[in-house]
Amino acid sequence: MFERFTSLYPLDAGEASPPANTEPLRQVPGLAELVTMAAGLSFGDGILRVLTDDEARRAQGLANLMWPEWAPRIRPFAQDWMGRQYVLDLHRNAMVLLLDPGAAGVYELDGTIPDLLDEYVVEDPDTFLAQDLFTPWRAAHPERPPAGTCVGFRTPLFLGGGGAVENLEVVDEEVYWSVHGQLWAKVKDLPEGTSISGVEIS
C-alpha cells in the first residue's frame, strides 16, 4: 500500500510516533497503515505530514475556527506544507475531504486514503499537494519551516490573492487559520463579484 506515492515522495527521516490505538481505525481503508508508518513524520521533504493524535486534535480545532458546521463530522489525518488539511468525513463512510483555508474551500474527493495517495496525488500533484508552488518555494527557501508553521498566502485566494510564490510567506498555523476564518466569515455571504475593502481582523 502507498507504493506509488512513496516512490515519488519518500518518507523523510525520523521514527513514527506510535498511535494510541490503531484497532478502531482498521475499518477506515489505509488509515491504520498510514499512521503506523508515518504518524508525526512527513513525506517528500515536508510536502505532506501525517498527524499524530495530538496534532489531529489541534488541527480539528483550527478547522472548527473556519468551518464550525463541519466540526461534528471530520477527523484530520494529514496536512500539506501549505497548512491544508486532509480529513475523513465520518458522515460519508470516511471519504476524504480537503480543507483549504487559503481558498476557503471544502473539497469532497470521493475517495479513500489509498485513492488519495496512490492515485490522486500521483496523477495530479499540483492540485493535491501544490507541487507547482512547492518546487520553486523550496528552491528559494531550502530551510524547512519551523514546527507549528505553514507556508500560506499573504492575501487569500478568496480575496483576490494570486496563486503564486510571491504571495506566500511562512506563518503560524493558528494565526493563519484564525485570520482566514475571520475574513471568510465576513465575506462568505456577499454576492459574487462584490468589491471588498477595509476588512479588519479583531
Q: How many residues are there in the chain?
A: 202
The set of residues, in sequence order, having a beta carbon less than 8 Å from that of 155 and lying 6+ positions away, is: 161, 162, 167
- Name the 3-class secondary structure at 67: coil
pLDDT in tens, 24-37: 667 899 998 999 99
- Mean pLDDT (whole number) for 162-191: 87
Q: What is the pLDDT of residue 200?
A: 43
Q: How confident is the model at residue 100 (pLDDT cuts 50, 70, 90)?
A: very high
| C-alpha to C-alpha distances, 108 to 20, 64, 93, 183, 191, nearest whole angstrom | 28, 17, 12, 22, 24
Cα 136 from Cα 94, distance rounded (Å): 34
What's the predicted TM-score (pTM) here?
A: 0.89
